[in-house]
């Protein structure tokens, strides 16, 4: 009998498969949410209606791509359920199948990690859970059959499932971090041998392998996916400026408690022992009389309470509270400054990444055009000079890609620095240029919002209030100082040991103390005038800051307004440039367009894409600046 021939793939089947492969690759790079149907169609150089002919919506496309990507799992199910195959060989087959799929589809590790990081209520997460449950059900049946035949202990079933999951996760992370060369073909057999050895009763081996797999997974963790919000949150936890401001704020909180301490009574205890080596004496009528015994003991308990100090105590507490509130505003100032810086650097990294993609596409186009011209040269319809010119075009395009890649890496390092991360930390940005949709808004309302929300403005108000309170503090030097006191004293003397009751004396005193300043050489008046002048300067600085804030708001508003208009004008430019390039390529292949026209339209596409991405970046960066100027 003739072998059954494989069913031939139609052109439509090939197109459908190409769409699935392209979608999976793009989603593995950016994540499913960041890839649109328009981008997929643009990348494939087909129209959106063609794409929607094969897949009615994005969810259908995601499901089909996921089903295609996980088909290798389902193809293996029937084979591993064969009871005649030993468990160790089945596990080897499962892991080998998984490893071969990773080798065949290098983008799969990235895609799998994106699925793990996707929202729990998303389409991908739901499909992954469904597949995981099916796979787990199959594994349970395999392990049950092995236990029934005595190959493994019944209680080891859960361990085997966990170990297989750990091994598969290890393959994915190793491929992502160190490339496919880190995964040799003998790994599945070795892992299967260790798993089965542990499952047969060697609990220590099982535990050791499971622990090592977990340690490998933790040590070679997947790259840190950061949304814009995550990046800002990380910076606010780790950035040294914010940490310092937080510690300064705590210092001022403690200062409030310190000032409150002066309001409460001050209680102190004293004690003293004196040994009279030669006792003092005094003379009465020429007769020398010895005073005191050999051992003298004294002790006291003293209580002092300020009753009135010309308002100085109350004002001191009030100033401490103002200092505390001012430190809160300083912390907010630091937080908002760091937040703005992180957002703008984040957008700069996104810009560099997008420019890298644009330059890569330009280089690919230049190489495709070179292939076309070389093919025409072989057919005798293009000159060797045309081939040489296109080779020069390829050579001239390559450095721009290298430069864009370098800018992207430098941007990542700067972002890590702001986030307080080690420069070797592997991070990827999950957000895009999703900002500035509503425009900058009305300028008049932004002025009011800024003066209400800017922490620097509130802090300057507190500084002015402090100088006003300082006038009260200095003026208090003219007023009396009244305090109350009480004291309990002990005294005892003896020649030998501690004095007995007949040698002891206790005394108690209490009273009021009034201190009235009469003349200080004019120093109090001078300090009061200085405080008033400082308060006047603070009020002037406050008005100047108000003017400065309005200028900052106006400039940020103008920048965002201009960037938003530029973004709108560039929205259709990229599609038009792409259509022009496609038409020119057709005309060039048919001999109706020159090589110069082909390269010019390629350059026009590159420029329109660059201008569009730059406009998106400028809009987002200006929005971050505007939000900072308004205190958001």
The whole-number average pLDDT for the span 332-349 is: 85
Task: Specify the pairing of strand 481-494 against strand 427-429.
Answer: unpaired
Q: How high is the pLDDT of residue 211?
A: 39
Tell the burial category of 116 from Cβ atoms under 10 Å away from its Cβ (0-12, 13-18, 19+).
middle
Report the 10 Å Cβ neighbour count for 229.
10
Instruction: Give the span between the Cα atoms of 96 and 73, in whole angstroms.
Output: 11
What is the residue extent of each domain of the chain? Answer: 70-222, 266-276+290-308+480-516
Instruction: Give the span between the Cα atoms of 99 and 77, in whole angstroms.
Output: 16
Q: How high is the pLDDT of residue 323?
A: 77
The whole-number average pLDDT for the span 186-201 is: 71
Q: How high is the pLDDT of residue 486?
A: 93
The whole-number average pLDDT for the span 411-433 is: 82
With beta carbons less than 8 A apart as the criterion, state whether 99 and 171 touch. Answer: yes
Task: Give the gyration radius of the chain's Cα atoms.
Answer: 40
> Between these two residues, 532 and 74, which has the higher pLDDT value?
532
Q: Please determine, for residue 567, whether its predicted confidence score (pLDDT) is greater than 80.
A: yes
Exposure of 144 in the CB half-sphere (CA atoms within 13 A): 7
Instruction: Give the span between the Cα atoms of 629 and 329, in whole angstroms.
Output: 15
Q: What are phi and psi of 223, to 5 degrees?
A: -60, 150
Q: Please determine, for residue 370, whether its predicted confidence score (pLDDT) is greater than 80.
A: yes
The whole-number average pLDDT for the span 484-508 is: 89
With beta carbons less than 8 A apart as the criterion, state whether 102 and 108 touch. Answer: yes
Tell the burial category of 9 from Cβ atoms under 10 Å away from its Cβ (0-12, 13-18, 19+).
exposed
Q: How high is the pLDDT of residue 23?
A: 79
Q: Please determine, for residue 403, whether its predicted confidence score (pLDDT) is greater than 80.
A: yes
> Per the structure block, which two tokens stand in for 209?
């392998």
The closest alpha carbon to 356, from 394, 409, 300, 303, belongs to 409
Instruction: Give the span between the Cα atoms of 156 and 204, in whole angstroms.
Output: 12
- Mean residue pLDDT of the chain comes to 77
Question: Of all helices (H) and strands (E), which one includes residue 488?
Answer: strand 481-494
Q: How high is the pLDDT of residue 509?
A: 93
Q: How high is the pLDDT of residue 569?
A: 81
Q: How high is the pLDDT of residue 302?
A: 92
The DSSP secondary-structure symbol of 57 reads S
Q: How high is the pLDDT of residue 178?
A: 65
Task: Specify the pairing of strand 295-308 against strand 266-275.
Answer: antiparallel
SS3 493: strand
Q: Please determine, for residue 372, whether its predicted confidence score (pLDDT) is greater than 60.
A: yes
Architecture of the domain spanning 266-276+290-308+480-516: Single Sheet (2.20)
With beta carbons less than 8 A apart as the criterion, state whether 214 and 167 touch. Answer: no
Instruction: Give the span between the Cα atoms of 469 and 531, in whole angstroms.
Output: 9
Q: How high is the pLDDT of residue 4?
A: 43
The whole-number average pLDDT for the span 119-130 is: 58
Q: How high is the pLDDT of residue 300?
A: 93
For the ranges 37-41, 140-144, 463-467, 556-560, the maximum mean pLDDT occurs at 556-560
* Residue 126: pLDDT band with limits 50, 70, 90: low
Tell the burial category of 601 from Cβ atoms under 10 Å away from its Cβ (0-12, 13-18, 19+).
buried
Q: Please determine, for residue 631, whether its predicted confidence score (pLDDT) is greater than 70.
A: yes
The DSSP line for 139-174 is HHHHHHHHHHTTSS-GGGHHHHHHHHHHHHHHHHHH
The DSSP secondary-structure symbol of 412 reads H
Question: Of all helices (H) and strands (E), which one includes residue 298?
Answer: strand 295-308
For the chain, percent of residues with pLDDT exceeding 90? 4
Q: Which of 210-214, 251-255, 352-356, 620-624 has the lowest mean pLDDT?
A: 210-214
pTM: 0.55
For the chain, percent of residues with pLDDT exceeding 70? 81
529-555 burial, b at 16+ Cβ within 10 Å, e below that, comes to eebbebbeebbeeeeebeeebbebbee
The whole-number average pLDDT for the span 66-90 is: 70
Q: Which of 89-103, 395-409, 613-627 has the lowest mean pLDDT?
A: 89-103
Order of strands across the sheet that contains 295-308: 266-275, 295-308, 481-494, 504-515
Which parts of 104-226 are beta strand (E)? 224-226
The closest alpha carbon to 40, from 56, 24, 17, 59, belongs to 24
User: DSSP H helical segments within 239-311, as ranges?
Assistant: 240-260
Q: Please determine, for residue 538, whether its predicted confidence score (pLDDT) is greater than 50.
A: yes
The whole-number average pLDDT for the span 282-303 is: 84
* Residue 155: pLDDT band with limits 50, 70, 90: low
For the ranges 42-51, 279-288, 539-548, the maximum mean pLDDT occurs at 539-548
Q: How high is the pLDDT of residue 130?
A: 67
Instruction: Give the span between the Cα atoms of 425 and 412, in whole angstroms.
Output: 10
With beta carbons less than 8 A apart as the criterion, state whether 506 and 304 touch. Answer: no
Tell me which long-range contacts 515-522 makes (C-beta under 8 A, separation of at least 24): 515/480, 515/481, 515/482, 516/480, 516/481, 517/477, 517/478, 517/479, 517/480, 520/477
Q: How high is the pLDDT of residue 230?
A: 84
State in words which class domain 70-222 has. Answer: mainly alpha
Task: Specify the pairing of strand 224-226 against strand 427-429.
Answer: parallel
Instruction: Give the span between the Cα atoms of 483 and 510, in whole angstroms.
Output: 11
């Amino acid at each position: 009998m003739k072998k059954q021939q494989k069913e031939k793939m139609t052109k439509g089947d090939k197109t459908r498969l190409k769409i699935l492969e392209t979608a999976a690759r793009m989603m593995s790079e950016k994540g499913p949410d960041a890839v649109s149907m328009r981008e997929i169609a643009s990348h494939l150089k087909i129209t959106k209606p063609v794409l929607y002919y094969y897949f009615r919506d994005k969810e259908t496309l995601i499901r089909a791509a996921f089903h295609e990507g996980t088909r290798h799992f389902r193809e293996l199910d029937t084979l591993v359920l064969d009871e005649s195959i030993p468990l160790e060989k089945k596990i080897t087959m499962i892991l080998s199948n998984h490893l071969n799929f990773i080798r065949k589809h290098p983008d799969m590790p990235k895609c799998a990690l994106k699925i793990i990081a996707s929202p729990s209520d998303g389409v991908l997460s739901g499909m992954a859970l469904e597949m995981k449950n099916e796979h787990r059900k199959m594994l349970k049946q395999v392990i049950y059959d092995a236990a029934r035949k005595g190959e493994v202990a019944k209680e080891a079933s859960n361990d085997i499932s966990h170990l297989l999951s750990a091994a598969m996760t290890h393959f994915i992370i190793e491929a992502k971090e160190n490339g496919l060369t880190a995964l040799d073909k003998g790994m599945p057999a070795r892992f299967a041998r260790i798993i089965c050895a542990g499952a047969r009763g060697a609990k220590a081996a099982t535990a050791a392998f499971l622990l090592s797999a977990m340690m490998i997974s933790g040590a070679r963790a997947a790259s840190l996916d950061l949304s814009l919000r995550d990046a800002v949150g990380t910076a606010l936890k780790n950035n040294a400026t914010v940490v310092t401001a937080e510690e300064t704020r705590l210092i001022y909180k403690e200062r409030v408690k310190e000032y409150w301490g002066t309001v409460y009574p001050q209680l102190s205890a004293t004690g003293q022992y004196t040994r009279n080596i030669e006792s003092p004496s005094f003379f009465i009528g020429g007769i020398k009389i010895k005073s005191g015994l050999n051992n003298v003991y004294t002790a006291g308990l003293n209580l002092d309470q300020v009753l009135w100090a010309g308002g100085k105590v109350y004002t001191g507490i009030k100033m401490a509270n103002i200092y505390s509130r001012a430190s809160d505003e300083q912390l907010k100032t630091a937080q908002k400054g760091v937040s703005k810086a992180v957002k703008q650097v984040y957008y700069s990294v996104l810009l560099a990444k997008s420019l890298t993609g644009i330059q890569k596409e330009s280089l690919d186009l230049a190489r495709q055009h070179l292939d076309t011209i070389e093919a025409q040269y072989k057919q005798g319809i293009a000159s060797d000079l045309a081939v040489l010119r296109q080779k020069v075009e390829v050579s001239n395009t390559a450095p721009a890609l290298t430069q864009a890649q370098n800018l992207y890496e430098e941007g990542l390092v700067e972002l890590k620095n702001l986030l307080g991360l080690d420069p070797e930390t592997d991070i990827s940005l999950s957000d895009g240029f999703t900002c500035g949709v509503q425009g900058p808004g009305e300028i008049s309302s932004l002025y009011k919002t800024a003066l209400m929300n800017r922490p620097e403005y509130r802090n300057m108000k507190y500084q002015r209030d402090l100088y006003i309170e300082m006038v009260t503090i200095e003026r208090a030097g003219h007023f009396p100082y009244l305090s109350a006191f009480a004291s309990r004293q002990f005294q005892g003397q003896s020649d030998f040991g501690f004095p007995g009751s007949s040698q002891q004396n206790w005394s108690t005193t209490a009273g009021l103390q009034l201190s009235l300043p009469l003349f200080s050489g004019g120093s109090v008046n001078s300090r009061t005038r200085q405080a008033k002048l400082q308060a006047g300067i603070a009020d002037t600085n406050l008005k100047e800051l108000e003017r400065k804030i309005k200028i900052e708001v106006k400039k940020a508003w103008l920048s965002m307004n201009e960037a938003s208009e530029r973004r709108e004008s560039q929205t259709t430019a990229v599609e038009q440039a792409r259509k022009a390039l496609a038409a020119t390529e057709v005309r060039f292949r048919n001999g109706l367009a020159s090589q110069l026209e082909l390269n010019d339209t390629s350059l026009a596409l590159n420029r329109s894409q660059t201008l569009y991405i730059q406009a998106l970046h400028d809009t987002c960066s200006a929005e971050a600046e505007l939000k900072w100027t308004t205190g958001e």
